[in-house]
Structure 1
Amino acid sequence: KAAIQGNVDAAVDYGFLSFKGDGLEKDEKVGAKWLLFAANKGNVVAQNRVARLYHKGRGVERDFIEAAKWNILARARGLTNTELDELTTALSEGERREAKRRAKLWEKQYGPPLKPTLPQ
């Protein structure tokens, strides 16, 4: 209910629960939707998870440039991921440039991020 009302932390939790099928029906597309909602609200944990989803093609269509975009955004907020960093580095120069362009567009559209929320 809190996720539906726009609570970002609840959206992250609901996204994780949907992926696991923990207490509700397992649905990776629904989980991805909620994590993307939270990522677009500036939640750094969700941004990192969305990058992983695009990297693996889980709940979303596989897209390495989009994965790199979300990794750039999460990294800028202090959450790093070696596997995603390696993916970004392995992209062509043009693909990296496109990922950076998309990250800048996100910043313009969604404004300053929320305070990073790192796992405890």
Structure 2
Amino acid sequence: MLLPAENRRFVLGPLPVLLMGAAPVHEELPVLYAPEGRVPGCAGWSVVAKATLCVVDGPGDVGCVMPGGLSAEEFEHVVEWCEAVERAGGAVVMSVDVLPGEAETVDWAALLDGGARGGFMPALAAS
């Protein structure tokens, strides 16, 4: 299933984060609780991080695909994000009902305390 570009955000930080809003896999992901910032693994899930296309793959037929960088500026940012995913061996994938607007501050503490679904997903290499 396709996740539109306006419903995904690639975030750089201590670990790379893929923040998704209204994702078709939202209900399939576990509720995310990360006490003391320790994000649990998301069993059975993986992420393929490429500058042009990103895939979140779950158990069975569950998963979604989304575009990578669409503009020159965004493409550069997504390349940097993909490199961070490779270094970290994966990414924290967080799904929320509605993605916060670009001007809104993301309440990471609330998301990590049951306000999101997901967890750390290992990176798979796309061939």
Q: TM-score range by the shorter chain?
A: under 0.3
Give the number of the structure with larger relative contact order, counting CA–CA contacts within 8 Å between residues 6 or more apart: 2
| TM-score for both structures, normalised by structure 1 | 0.28
Q: Which has the higher strand share?
A: 2
